Amino acid sequence: MRALAATVGAVALVFCASVPAQDKDVTQREIERYRELLAEGNPADLAEAKGEELWKTKRGPKQASLERCDLGLGAGVVKGAYARLPRWFADTDRVQDLESRLVTCMVTLQGFTEDEAKKNPFSAPGRGSPIEDIATYVAGASKGMKFAPPLEHPKELEAFRTGEELFYRRAGPHDFSCATCHGDNGKRIRLQDLPKLTDPKEAQKVFTTWPAYRVSQGSVRTMQHRLYDCYWQMRHPQLDYVSEASIDLQVFMAKYASGGTVEAPGLKR
């Protein structure tokens, strides 16, 4: 009992006497200026243009383009489609995000196998990723529109509940969950602001900026990559591309982001 009391005392000592952060405002102002200076030319435009070209290009065993792909608003409708994803699709009877839906179209329209379609999801230096460019193009075609995924079908609601559990699921050698970094307001990791993803104001600002050009990676990155990269940092094994968990988590976040404006493609650190 005495040891416990000592412990409690020590904890109080640690957390009550923290020193205010030094020069925080100066550093943060400069980082904001850095981001403003970058904003006048977003290299994601290059991926967007390439993606539009690829959308219209006949590819795969069936030598077909993606121009008949149904992204939720009917075959071939690109404009506004991203603002209504993720959603449940009758033909697959699954909730799908943009990238998972692109895989479906590459399989059904172009004749790729599912493995082929999922093989090269993220570009690397010297190796482009068509699906990354196409996702950037499709997302960009909803730019300025209100983000309003339906989130009413029973499978969408189920995906939300699963996503919520996954968001708080702590595991691995570091005990991390998504909520470790994205569960509170006003936090940052190193100099990077961390949005509280269950706060609509913050979720609306960030969720709709993906895909985004990441200067640290020299490439456009999609939401699938964002999640893959988070799990990498969380000391988990690699998250499967367009896996259930990746989509359920997006449904969970999309609910809080609803009502925001699509600002894709973004530009980030």
Partner 1 sequence: MPDPMRIRANMAGDKVEVRVLMAHEMETGLRKDASGKPVPAHFIQNVSVDHDGKTVLSAQWGTSISKNPFLHFRFKGGKPGDKIKITWVDNKGETRSDEATIAAAS
Partner 2 sequence: MDRREALKAGGGTGVIALALAAGILKPEDVFAADWNKAAFDTKSFADTVKALGGGGSSESDQILMTTPDIAENGAVVPVTVESRLPGTRRIAILIEKNPNTLSADFTLPEGTDPFVTTRVKMAETSNVYALVQSGGKFYHAAKEIKVTIGGCGG
Partner 3 sequence: MRSAALFVACAALVAGCTTPPPENDARREAQAAFERSFTHGNKEMFARVVGQDDVQALCSRYRNRPPADVAERIQKSQAATIVYPADGKLMGDWRQGEKIAEDGFGLRFTDTNQPNRPNGGNCYACHQLAPHEVSYGTLGPSLYRFGRTRGSGEAIQRYVYGKVYNSEAFTACSGMPRFGLHQVLTPEQIRHVVALLLDPESPVNK
Active-site amino acid positions: 230
| Distance separating alpha carbons of residues 223 and 160, to the nearest angstrom | 17
End-to-end CA distance of the chain: 49
| Distance separating alpha carbons of residues 82 and 71, to the nearest angstrom | 8
Binds partner 3 (CB under 8 A): choice among 67, 116, 158, 199: 158
**50 touches which of partner 2, partner 1, partner 3, none (CB within 5 to 8 A by kind)?**
partner 1
Candidates 20-28, 66-74, 98-106, 138-146: pick the segment binding partner 3 (CB under 8 A).
20-28
* Residue 184 touches partner 2, criterion: CB under 8 A: no
**19 touches which of partner 2, partner 3, partner 1, none (CB within 5 to 8 A by kind)?**
partner 3
By CB under 8 A, what part of segment 183-222 binds partner 3? 183, 186-192, 194
Binding map of partner 2 across residues 198-217, x = CB under 8 A, - = no contact: -----------------xx-
Candidates 37-45, 55-63, 103-111, 151-159: pick the segment binding partner 1 (CB under 8 A).
37-45
Q: Which is nearer to partner 2, 102 or 227 (CB)?
A: 227
| Distance separating alpha carbons of residues 115 and 98, to the nearest angstrom | 17
User: Given its phi and psi angles, is residue 186 left (phi above 0), alpha (psi -120 to 50 degrees) or beta?
Assistant: left
Binds partner 2 (CB under 8 A): choice among 24, 35, 161, 174: 35
Q: Which is nearer to partner 3, 213 or 231 (CB)?
A: 231
* Residue 50 touches partner 1, criterion: CB under 8 A: yes
* Residue 164 touches partner 1, criterion: CB under 8 A: no
Instruction: Quote the least distance from Cβ 70 to partner 3, whole Å.
Output: 25
Binds partner 2 (CB under 8 A): choice among 56, 191, 235, 259: 191
* Residue 233 touches partner 2, criterion: CB under 8 A: yes
* Residue 226 touches partner 1, criterion: CB under 8 A: no
Contacts with partner 1 by CB under 8 A lie at: 40-43, 45-46, 49-50, 125-126, 215, 218
Contacts with partner 2 by CB under 8 A lie at: 27, 30-31, 33-35, 37-38, 40, 189-192, 215-216, 218, 233, 269
